[in-house]
Structure 1
Amino acid sequence: MSEPTGAARRRGPFQVGDQVQLTDPKGRHYTFTLEAGKNFHTHKGSFPHDELIGAPEGSVVRTTGNVAYLALRPLLPDYVLSMPRGAAVVYPKDAGQILAFADIFAGARVVEAGVGSGSLSSFLLRAIGDQGMLHSYERREDFAEIATQNVERYFGGPHPAWQLTVGDLQDNLSDTDVDRVILDMLAPWECLEVVRKALVPGGILCCYVATTTQLARTVESIREIGCFAEPTAWESMIRNWHVEGLAVRPDHRMIGHTGFLLTARRLADGVEPPLRRRRPAKGAYGEDYTGPGSESGSASRG
């Protein structure tokens, strides 16, 4: 039985073509690709790549300046933060939330719109495995090229479950019986009709948006289309902690707001979502409200 794509590059001694992450005594990271006969240079000296080729992961190398570096393969969260970018990447904390709350499973059929630099694509491909299907759509050809290079560099070549189309999702989506749809784009509400046709009953739509106005319009548009259960929206933040003897305190810096996530389940055809019983705050749909359905929906939401 053959190993899943990319698995052989995640274990065993270092090989030519492997990505290596060096950590210096101050905790700074340096990522490069192993090449026979090449040297790695820093302001603290250099060392030959050949010292690591064939060495076990977790080895320590010293530069000509006698500075020690710990050598490990970068984890996927490390890799996506260090890889070349065309667009901003989906941060690992958000990718992890998407994998969990969009319930991405092995063998899933997933559609992704907005590939960016290939960060989320890499996480999705590793989760669905070789037997799944990820069809990604990207409007910009230059972003698509960068994403392809990043994904193939991580997996060691093309992934058998990945198809990438350059073009708008709403104009090109022809997939059916899709389990999950992930939208990372400026106006996800414009794609809801084609998403409705693609998703299986019980399937999950997950949207990643940057601003509160995008979040509000997306949620209200999902409610308005009438074929999804009530959406759930949230954000996440990560704060590391400094632990040194009795000095245990939160770090001064943290990964704060990067984007909002929301999920909604596809209902069966012909089914109307149950009436929401939660009374909105006074004035939520008042005269100043200009979102989807503001004229026809304000009374029913009370």
Structure 2
Amino acid sequence: MTPPATGADLRRGPFRPGDRVQLTDPKGRLHTITLEPGKNFHTHRGHVRHDDLIGAPDGTVVAHSSGVEYLALRPLLSDYVLSMPRGAQVVYPKDAGQIVTYADIFPGATVVEAGVGSGALSLSLLRAVGDEGRLLSFERRADFAEIAQANAHAFFGQEHPAWTVTVGDLVQELPRAVEPGTVDRVVLDMLAPWECLDVVADALVPGGVLICYVATTTQLSRVAETARRAGGWTEPQAWESLVRGWHLEGLAVRPEHRMHGHTGFLITLRRLAPGVDAHLRKKRPAPGAYGEDYTPVVEEEWSPEDLGERPVSDKRLRRTAREARATADRRDGGLPDEGGAS
């Protein structure tokens, strides 16, 4: 009998110790807890007993000591990545879904990712490649890598067999990790992805997809122009996605007042076959695109602060790493023995 995919057994069945559970109160407020026998979830009005949830089916309504009822559900992946401990900004679900789809991440694929951040995108990529695929993730910062691995362990309940995390620079480490022309897809979420185009080009199979997630139009332009000058790539395609929820209540159907606006840009390219320099453009550049105001790419150092990101203190990262490890440890403690029941 084929064993279930990694983490699949944790997505169904009754609640068990170590499970993360999302509680929703009557006003729609969300609270995420990790179930532990004998523990309570406290609010200013009372508490909910973890023991009342352990063994109950997913979708249970549990009573608060004050009489208020809470809906208990397992968090979806999109819920989990927004509530998990984070050291770096996460790739939001709306963008992760686009990356998996438009990069054509398929089961069994060999995928390279850089950088890892808090692991939000890594979870979606691991889901897509499955146990038989390979996800090779590269992260310059050891503290970010530690947080990401703990978050993934907590979500899947174990180390994912398809995942390898390397602490180091992609340009230096990728040629050591893979043979030329053996990588199906590359996903870059980093400050200067254009610096990696040469090693990525060597690693990708002909027809392989490169997708970059960048925050600013300056980064977007530099990726596109660097690829055009290098040759060997298809014409870049770029876009962003904006998601607006809707309020649904009787005849009061209207857009929500708040929406998920700009988070980042996505740009995709495909690797051409050896010896093919560049696909011919069929349209002329827009007038003025390369006029007097155009500034060619110049070599310079960028920092997250240059792009408007807030720096994360070492103290906060250490606290986040402890929280992530603790969540993963509680998951380990709550899992049943092999072949046994919880």
Q: Shared fold by TM > 0.5?
A: yes
- Percent sequence identity is 68
- Deviating beyond 4 angstroms after TM superposition, the runs of 4 or more aligned structure 1 residues are none
Task: Tell me what 1:226 maps to.
Answer: 231
CA drift at 1:223: 1.1
1:18 aligns with 2:23: no
Shift of 1:222: 1.2
Write the deviation string for residues 64-121 of structure 1: whole angstroms up to 9, x where unpaired: 1111110000000000000011000000000000010000101110000010000000
Deviation at 1:292, TM superposition (A): 4.0
Determine the C-alpha separation between the residues in 2 that align with 1:80 and 1:146. Answer: 12
CA distance in 1, matches of 2:279, 2:245: 41
Corresponding residue to 2:293 among 275, 282, 288: 288
Alignment of 1:239-258 (within 5 A): 239-258=244-263
Q: Which residue in 2 is equivalent to 1:300?
A: none
Pairwise CA distance, 1:231: 0.9
Q: Distance in 2 between matches of 1:33 and 1:106?
A: 30
Amino acid at match of 1:279: R
Secondary structure of 1:242's counterpart equals strand
CA deviations on 1:196-248 (whole Å, 9 max, x unpaired) are 01000010000000000000001111111101111100000000011111111
The two structures have a TM-score, normalised by structure 1, of 0.95
Q: Which runs of 5+ in 2 are unaligned?
A: 299-342
The residue aligned with 1:216 is 221
1:101 is aligned to 102
Q: What is the aligned partner in structure 2 of residue 172 from structure 1?
A: 173
2:149 alignment partner, SS class:
helix
2:307 maps to which residue?
A: none
Give the TM-score normalised by the residue count of structure 2: 0.84
Preserved CA contact (<8 Å) 1:201 1:266: yes
Q: Is the 8 A contact 1:224 1:292 kept in 2?
A: no
In 2, distance between residues paired with 1:114 and 1:58?
Answer: 36
Query: 1:260-299 alignment to 2 at 5 Å?
Result: 260-292=265-297
Which structure exhibits the higher relative contact order, with contacts defined as CA atoms closer than 8 Å and separated by 6 or more residues? 2
Q: Secondary structure at the match of 2:124?
A: helix
Q: Which residue of 2 aligns with 1:140?
A: 141
1:28 offset after TM fit, Å? Answer: 1.2
SS at match of 1:249: strand
Instruction: Determine the structure 2 residue equivalent to 1:204.
Output: 209
Distance 2:128 2:272 in 1: 25
The 2-side partners of 1:166 and 1:60 are apart by 43
- Give the whole-Å Cα distance in 1 for the aligned partners of 2:77 and 2:13: 17
* Residue of structure 1 equivalent to 2:311: none
Mark the runs of 5 or more structure 1 residues left unpaired by the alignment: 294-302
> How many residue pairs end up in the alignment?
293
Which of 39-48 and 122-131 deviates more? 39-48
**Alpha-carbon separation, structure 2, partners of 1:39 and 1:162:** 35
Matched with 2:72 is: 71
Counterpart CA distance in 2 for 1:167 and 1:217 is 23
Question: Conserved in 2, the CA contact under 8 Å of 1:44 and 1:67?
Answer: no
Whole-Å Cα distance in 2 between the matches of residues 102 and 222 of structure 1? 17
Q: Kindly provide the CA deviation profile for residues 231-280 of structure 1, in whole angstroms up to 9, marking residues without a partner as x.
A: 10000000001111111110110000000001111101111222212111
Mean Cα displacement is larger for which, 200-209 or 216-225?
216-225
